[in-house]
Structure 1
Amino acid sequence: MDTKSKNKLGLILVSLLFLCMTSLSFLASADIALRTDYLQQDRYYKTNGFQEELSQFIDMVKRLHFNYRGYPDKTDMEKLGEDQYEQLKSDFASSSAGQMEEINQHYASLIAEAEASGKAANVPKLEQARDQELQKIRQSQEESFRQAVKQAVAAKDQEYRDLEDSIALRSGSFRYYIVNKNRDEVYTNVPTPPSVEELKSNSVYSIRFPNSDNETDNSFRWINHFFQTNHWEGIIYVPKNVEGYSLIHSNAQYYAAIRERLFKECALLVITAVAAVGLFLYLRKRAAELSFVEGSLFLLRRIPVDLRIFVLIFAVFCAVVLAISVSFFSLPLRPEQLIILGLESFAAAYVTLCLIEAARMLRDRELWQRQWQKSWFVKYRELLTDVLANRNILVKLILMVGLSLAFPVSALVALISLDRREELFLLVSGAYCLFYVTIVLPYILRRISLMNKIFRGAEEMAAGNLDHQIIATGKGKGNLSRLADNLNNIKQGFKESVEGQIKSERLKSELITNVSHDLKTPLTSIVNYVNLLKGENLKPEEVASYIEVLDRKTQRLKVLIDDLFEASKMASGAVELQVENVNVASLLNQALAEFSDKIEESSLTFRVQVEQQQMFAKLDGNKTWRVLENLIVNALKYSMPNTRVYVSLSEQNAEVILTMKNVSAYEIDFDAEELFERFKRGDKSRHTEGSGLGLAIAKSIVELQGGRLEIEIDGDYFKVTVAFPK
């Protein structure tokens, strides 16, 4: 027992290890697939981030040595540029022009008043005052303009210094040596031009401009164009070693670290994949011992197969998202990594179980069929089919629910319309409320009332009250009315079935009694006469008489037993028919001739009418002979003495019709169908010979051949009709 437990525990641990190896392989594969480009040498220098940094640096160099060329030696107007300088001058001139215009207008009115009042001597003073104010405005304007120019130049100087500082800060990341061929000028941040050998040994990245190879690169296209247009040539490179902090070198080291990690992950992927395959093969060999797998599959099968597929897709999706969004292979180790590994292992376990079950379904299609029949899709399809089976009910239900939900809305709209005196909305909503109260609501209440009646009727029927009647009031024949009628019909049918069952039990009791009586009577006689034969001193004529009685009773018992077996075979349908084209007229004539002696001995008169002597039907001749024999014997036994028996044979449509009519010697106070019951006789006292199986056997033979046998009783008048199909 301990060995089995240890083996089971060992297999569980191996299975868990298999899931962990599979999860690690998946995580490594996802991480490698996402960062495949990191495996390239010097991948960072091909990224958009580095190219943007390089493009930004070259733009700074271009602005420093092209836009700001000779900047320290320029005048203020040259630093600002003629356009900006003139714009500032124009702005200040336009701002002071308004003030000067107001002063001119003010003094013009004063001078006009002085001249009009005859004080012309004051005009020179007014003009002098005007000129002084205008001069002050001009001086203020010039001072403000000089200050604005000074501030603009200071801002420009600051931009120039910031640009120099930015390039100086990036000198550890980028080195450049550029020659302006138009001016024979050199722009550089290195003391000497770098040689090819120096670039190979001391740089990790370099690029020359202009360079036609970069024409397709949007990041460097404008640089090439600028260098070509201005006849610049140069090289920009990233030094291998740098003093201090460099963003470029830091990013490059980060990419190199990822590249080194990915190589380790590749090795881990190979190891874990090989381990997972090996563990899988080992577990496959020990599959018969993996009882916990069968238990898990049993639980899995309790989930509907379509829901299982949905969960499988969701589990795979979550596993992929988790592997993509979280960096699993990072140091230091964190508790979150164990959680991630556990979740991935759980997903791997579920996927593995689904794959095992799918493989079994492929081998055993019946397994798939059984599980598919329990799926949600099949259940909802059946439910939807049932819902849509009677769309009339569904439409009515939706309509009633919609109308009922609209009623409170209409009532609310009516109240709001009444408050706001909105006649149109009040009229429409009021009309709908009236329509609902007078038509819809009574209809719903009638349906509910009828449903309650149906429930009460069903409860009465379940309680055994088969006389209860569900009365469906109201006009029309809706679904509930039809349901009530169907329940009434079911109740009536059940009632008739119960009555038929009671009748069947009664007939069964009579059958047992009749069988006992008919078998016991000859058997008792046989026993008695055998006892008599055992007596001594019997005369020969007495022995012969007893033997004759024994023979007659034995034959009687044999007939009863033969008829019983024949009736049983007919009822079970275990009869082989030899169907052929039989002349029914000839067969009837033969049967009547066979019983001619008995007919003559009786007091009955047979009136036979055959429409024509050639009437054929596809029948078994021997079995049909038995039918005719039973009918003739039945007429001889049970017809009133000194009466006539009418026999007729004719053709109607696709049938040959035989009828036999006679007056019964016994009162028939039961249903005609009871005569087809086994051991049922018209002679209830059972004084006549016979088994009581004749009509039952005849009916079975006729029906087995596709025909029908019917009996009509009108008082003592008895009529048998047999229809043979052609």
Structure 2
Amino acid sequence: MDTKLKNKRYVALALIGFVFVTTLLALTVANLYDNRRFLDKDYFISRNSNLISEELATVARLIKQVHVDYADYSTKSAQQKLDSDWLSELNQEREHQLEQLKAEIDAEYNERIEEARAAGNDSQVSLLQAEKENKRLSRERQIEADYDAKMKESIAARDKEYEAVKFNLLLRDGTFKYAIQDKKNNKVYTNLDHEPTDTELRQSALISVKIPQPKGERNWGLNRFFQQNQWEGLIYIPREADPYEPVLPNQFESGEFDYGGYYNQIIDDVNYYQSIHDRLLKEIVLLILFLFLAAGLFWYLKKNQALEHSMITKSQSIFRSIPMDIRLVSLLPAGLFYLIYSLEANFFSLPIGLGQVFTLVVMAPFTAYFLLFVLEAWIMFKQPEAFTQQWHNSISLKILAVLRDSFADKGMFFKLATIFILTIGFCVAAGTGLIYFVKRDLEPFLLAFFYCVFYVLFVLPYILRRIALLNRITRGVEQMSAGNFDVVIDAGKTKGKLASTAHSLNNLQQGVKRSLDNQMKSERLKSELITNVSHDLKTPLTSIVNYVDLLKREDLSPETRKEYVQILERKTDRLKALIDDLFEAAKMSSGSVELNIEQVNVAALVNQALAEFSDKIEQSSLTFRTNIEDGKIYAPLDGKKTWRVFENLISNALKYSLPNTRVYVDLTESADKVRFTIKNVSAYEINFDAEELFERFKRADESRNTEGSGLGLAIAKSIVELQGGKLFIEIDGDYFKVIVEFTRYR
């Protein structure tokens, strides 16, 4: 017992472990799939090729600006630092301003000076010439001051531009390495202490560009730039940035530029991508480990018949209590949640903490749910009847059944739908009519009012009539269920399904009454059957018992003893005939009779039967009149069984006909039938239904003084019907007529 209990605990632990390992497998696969692009080492480079090209182009441009465009910039004079074209334009502008100034002053003073000279006013002339010269000098000094200010401003901007370019190149000094030979200027530009060999380059360079380009290598868009500037050499991005120990110009140190040290987004991104790549490789190892662990747990569970464990059986019971279609519908949102959550969980990020535990706790129940789906699918595959059984309990099938029943009578469905819509329309019309009445908007109010009048005058009476009829039907059904079958449901002049239902219930009531009458009749006949069987079997049996007792007496004479033996023989034959007829009737009613169908001359069979009874007919007071149209009337029948029919009918006529009357026997044929008729006057009053004569042991002689078994007509009817024919009786007072019809041979 302890071993079994311990084994169950181990199986339970293995089941829980299998669920969690499967969850870990799903998380691993989801994370690997979501980050599959990082498994490619060149993914970052291929994805960010435009960014890398732009950065390399920027570095090349900065190298050109610092080493070519601003070459020896710090040793140049102020005039040399400026662009010659711009400086020429500035000088031309100054000369133009001076010339324009001279023209303006001349225009202002020359005419006045000439007028004073003409007037001989020398002092005025001197005064005007001195004023003119002072004004010219003052304006020229202003122009020169403006010129100097523009020069200084331009030089400052040029210096700042130079420092910015130099600074930008310096920012990249630890993350971009270059060694370039300028053939045009016969110079070398580099920030390396030596040019790396190809081996060193492969080891230390993340991305490298060498011009002229070796065959098969990428130039990252720099080839044209190098050719235009007649450059040759190398630019590359190292795998790791150099340590930051810059020597900065004063303005950088003063804070004019915010310099945070060597940093390259490309190197940082590559390192990040590489860390993800390394983590994914570890996850692949974990995936293999989880697969082996899951396989081991699966083998252990299968070996220990885990499907019979209470944890599984109870889970299956709860699982199956949910209808199949509801489970299938829930599979989609549950699967989407599981997929999205596993992709967004970031389960393998470090450090490990409560987030990972929470993810496992949330996802494990979903994993168990999906595993139950798989298990149930496997069971249904192996046992299709399980699928059929669960599908029969599904909500969809019930809804389909409801819809099928709803649309079974389309007329009723559309009537109810129309009434529902009209009733909703009445509510809407009443509400809107009230609103428009308050607003005194006449037209919408009248429209709503007339609709309400229509509903009250036509729709509402229609509904009330149907409700009244439904109430009458309900009361009628209640009375019928209580046993009152005399109630009649009044459908009135109402038409439709409810009225049809009322008529059907009235017909059902009549049918039930007939059924009850037939049942009572059947019970009565059954009681009579038992009584008749008991009487008919007991009568000869009692005689046999009595005469056996008499034979035991020793004082009997030989003649008396012989007479008693003869009586016993007759009673025994009588009892044997009764039992044979009883078995024959039972066989006929069960249908377990083998028929030997052949083309039989019915006329010959009738004549043979009459010949068999010729002695009894002569001994009786009856007169037989026969009418056989043709001596050869054929029909597909079993000859022996059909002869038994004629024998029974002729025998009945001999037993139950009124003495000194006639018995008529007719055999005729038509296009498709052979008709046998036997008519006689009954010696007994027939005060019951003719159909009762076909019941077993029923006899016209209700006192049962005749020797008949009461089975003759029942046997005859069964034989005829087994051969596809008909046997029926017509009674008119004491006039008794039996008709037998067979299919005619063609």
Map 1:456-475; keep pairs closer than 5 Å.
456-475=475-494
- Displacement, 1:643? 1.8
1:426/1:271 CA distance change after superposition, 3 Å: same
Letter of the aligned partner of 1:448 in structure 2?
A: I
- Displacement, 1:628? 0.8
Aligned match of 1:630 in 631, 641, 648?
Answer: 648
Per-residue deviation, residues 248-307 of structure 1 (Å, max 9, x unmatched)? 333333222222222221221222211221222232222278423344334434343444
Answer whether contact 1:210 1:225 (CA < 8 A) is retained. no
Map 1:132-147; keep pairs closer than 5 Å.
none
Partner of 1:438: 457
Aligned match of 2:388 in 369, 373, 397?
Answer: 369
Map 1:526-545; keep pairs closer than 5 Å.
526-545=544-563
Per-residue deviation, residues 30-89 of structure 1 (Å, max 9, x unmatched)? 2223323323446544432x742652563486489679956997769988999xxx9xxx
Task: State the distance in 1 between where 2:626 and 2:15 align.
Answer: 94
TM-score using structure 2 length: 0.79
More displaced 10-residue stretch of structure 1: 256-265 or 417-426: 417-426
Aligned match of 1:341 in 342, 360, 368?
Answer: 360
What SS class does the counterpart of residue 721 from structure 1 fall into?
A: strand
Letter of the aligned partner of 2:377 in structure 1?
A: A
- Aligned: 1:261 with 2:271: no
Partner of 2:24: 24
Partner of 1:666: 684
Task: State the distance in 2 between where 1:441 and 1:681 align.
Answer: 64
Q: Kindly name which structure, 1 or 2, has the bigger radius of gyration based on alpha carbons.
A: 2
Partner of 2:258: none
1:339/1:314 CA distance change after superposition, 3 Å: same
What SS class does the counterpart of residue 479 from structure 2 fall into?
A: helix
For structure 1, which runs of at least 5 residues remain unmatched after alignment? Answer: 87-142
- Aligned: 1:599 with 2:617: yes
Partner of 2:34: 34
What SS class does the counterpart of residue 634 from structure 1 fall into?
A: helix
- Displacement, 1:359? 3.1
Task: State the distance in 1 between where 2:31 and 2:229 align.
Answer: 47
- Displacement, 1:701? 1.1
Answer whether contact 1:8 1:289 (CA < 8 A) is retained. no
Partner of 1:109: none
More displaced 10-residue stretch of structure 1: 427-436 or 513-522: 427-436
Map 1:703-714; keep pairs closer than 5 Å.
703-714=721-732
1:213/1:567 CA distance change after superposition, 3 Å: farther
- Aligned: 1:554 with 2:553: no
Partner of 1:13: 13
Per-residue deviation, residues 294-339 of structure 1 (Å, max 9, x unmatched)? 4433443434344444445554443332221111112222223123
Map 1:517-532; keep pairs closer than 5 Å.
517-532=535-550
Task: State the distance in 2 between where 1:430 and 1:147 align.
Answer: 91
Task: State the distance in 2 between where 1:189 and 1:638 align.
Answer: 143
Task: State the distance in 1 between where 2:510 and 2:149 align.
Answer: 116
Task: State the distance in 1 between where 2:537 and 2:703 align.
Answer: 15
Answer whether contact 2:589 2:718 (CA < 8 A) is retained. yes
- Displacement, 1:18? 2.6
TM-score using structure 1 length: 0.81
Per-residue deviation, residues 146-186 of structure 1 (Å, max 9, x unmatched)? 99999999999988876665554444333456677777788
Task: State the distance in 1 between where 2:637 and 2:402 align.
Answer: 51
1:577/1:271 CA distance change after superposition, 3 Å: same
Map 1:193-212; keep pairs closer than 5 Å.
196=198, 199-200=201-202, 202-208=204-210
Task: State the distance in 2 between where 1:80 and 1:602 align.
Answer: 166
Aligned match of 2:529 in 493, 511, 515?
Answer: 511
Letter of the aligned partner of 1:490 in structure 2?
A: L
1:334/1:341 CA distance change after superposition, 3 Å: same
Task: State the distance in 2 between where 1:185 and 1:431 align.
Answer: 103
Q: Percent identity?
A: 48
Task: State the distance in 2 between where 1:308 and 1:558 align.
Answer: 71
Task: State the distance in 2 between where 1:419 and 1:156 align.
Answer: 82
Per-residue deviation, residues 331-362 of structure 1 (Å, max 9, x unmatched)? 22222312322444434433333333333333
Answer whether contact 1:668 1:716 (CA < 8 A) is retained. yes
Task: State the distance in 2 between where 1:287 and 1:602 align.
Answer: 89
Answer whether contact 2:665 2:678 (CA < 8 A) is retained. yes
Partner of 2:371: 352
1:79/1:666 CA distance change after superposition, 3 Å: farther
1:599/1:160 CA distance change after superposition, 3 Å: farther
Partner of 1:242: 242
Answer whether contact 2:62 2:169 (CA < 8 A) is retained. no
Partner of 1:327: 346
Task: State the distance in 1 between where 2:88 and 2:22 align.
Answer: 70
For structure 2, which runs of at least 5 residues remain unmatched after alignment? Answer: 94-144, 245-261
- Aligned: 1:384 with 2:403: yes
Task: State the distance in 1 between where 2:157 and 2:501 align.
Answer: 95
Aligned match of 2:605 in 587, 604, 616?
Answer: 587
1:79/1:189 CA distance change after superposition, 3 Å: farther
Letter of the aligned partner of 1:24 in structure 2?
A: L
Answer whether contact 1:177 1:187 (CA < 8 A) is retained. yes
- Aligned: 1:173 with 2:192: no
1:693/1:149 CA distance change after superposition, 3 Å: farther
Partner of 1:103: none
CA RMSD of superposed structures (Å): 3.9
Partner of 1:52: 51
- Displacement, 1:232? 6.4
- Displacement, 1:9? 0.6
Per-residue deviation, residues 394-431 of structure 1 (Å, max 9, x unmatched)? 22222222222122223334445555666654454444
What SS class does the counterpart of residue 680 from structure 1 fall into?
A: coil
Task: State the distance in 1 between where 2:214 and 2:498 align.
Answer: 88
- Displacement, 1:587? 0.7
- Displacement, 1:702? 0.9
What SS class does the counterpart of residue 684 from structure 1 fall into?
A: coil
- Displacement, 1:214? 11
- Displacement, 1:722? 1.0
Answer whether contact 1:450 1:472 (CA < 8 A) is retained. yes
Task: State the distance in 1 between where 2:88 and 2:548 align.
Answer: 156
Letter of the aligned partner of 1:725 in structure 2?
A: T
Answer whether contact 1:647 1:660 (CA < 8 A) is retained. yes
